């Protein structure tokens, strides 16, 4: 089954989406799945099962499930126009760790897209771990959802989007004029 969005959030803008996501039903296997022509994001299992045929295509993407490892595509990231990570439900946070790994440890520089049960409340945190595109749920107003990327003006922790924690970025003027041991803490 092909899943398509008319629009996605890319960067901080709503743009037209020309990719479709292939999802297998219970009767299909990764080996027998038919991958139509065009810009298709295939499940990791389909990529692994049909590697040679799919690698020869021009426009191909892969999506990784929350229970799968990104290590399976290590060294092959330059084949993909898009790497997507599926969020099967809003409360499943495993995709954040996968995204961080794809960006920081595997060094992927291309489009990293969140798909599945993606909501406004998640976008800021998703951006922090490396996502730069978001296919939000179809039952939500995408123009309202994009506001989730700007909900906070500052972050404390280091992550993909900010290499230094706040205490390393902030210059403090602490003058030692007091002999109190706890002064300046």
| pLDDT per position as a tens digit, 122-146 | 999 999 999 999 999 999 999 999 9
Q: How many Å apart are CA 164 and CA 156, to the nearest integer?
A: 9
Sign, CA dihedral 79-80-83-84, equals negative
Predicted confidence at residue 168, as pLDDT, reads 85
pTM here is 0.85
**At 42, which helix (H) or strand (E)?**
strand 40-43
Instruction: Report domain extents, the chain.
Output: 2-153
**At 94, which helix (H) or strand (E)?**
helix 94-100
Higher pLDDT, 179 or 32: 32
Q: Does residue 17 surpass a pLDDT of 90?
A: yes
For 2-153, CATH gives: 3.40.50
Q: Beta strand pairing status for 2-4 and 111-116?
A: unpaired
């Amino acid at each position: 089954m092909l899943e398509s969005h008319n629009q996605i959030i890319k960067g901080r803008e709503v743009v037209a989406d020309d990719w479709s996501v292939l999802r297998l039903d219970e009767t299909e296997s990764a080996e027998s799945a038919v991958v139509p022509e065009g810009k298709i994001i295939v499940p990791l299992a389909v990529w692994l099962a049909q590697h040679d045929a799919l690698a020869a295509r021009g426009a191909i993407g892969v999506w990784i499930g929350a229970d799968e490892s990104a290590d399976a595509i290590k060294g092959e990231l330059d084949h993909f126009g898009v790497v997507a990570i599926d969020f099967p439900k809003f409360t499943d946070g495993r995709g954040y760790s996968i995204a961080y790994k794809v960006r920081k440890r595997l060094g992927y520089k291309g489009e990293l897209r969140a798909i599945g049960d993606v909501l406004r409340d998640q976008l800021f945190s998703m951006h922090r771990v490396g996502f730069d595109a978001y296919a939000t749920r179809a039952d939500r107003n995408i123009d309202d959802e994009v506001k989730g990327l700007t909900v906070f003006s500052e972050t404390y922790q280091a992550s993909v989007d900010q290499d230094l924690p706040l205490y390393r970025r902030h210059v403090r003027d602490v003058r030692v004029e007091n002999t109190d041991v706890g002064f300046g803490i």
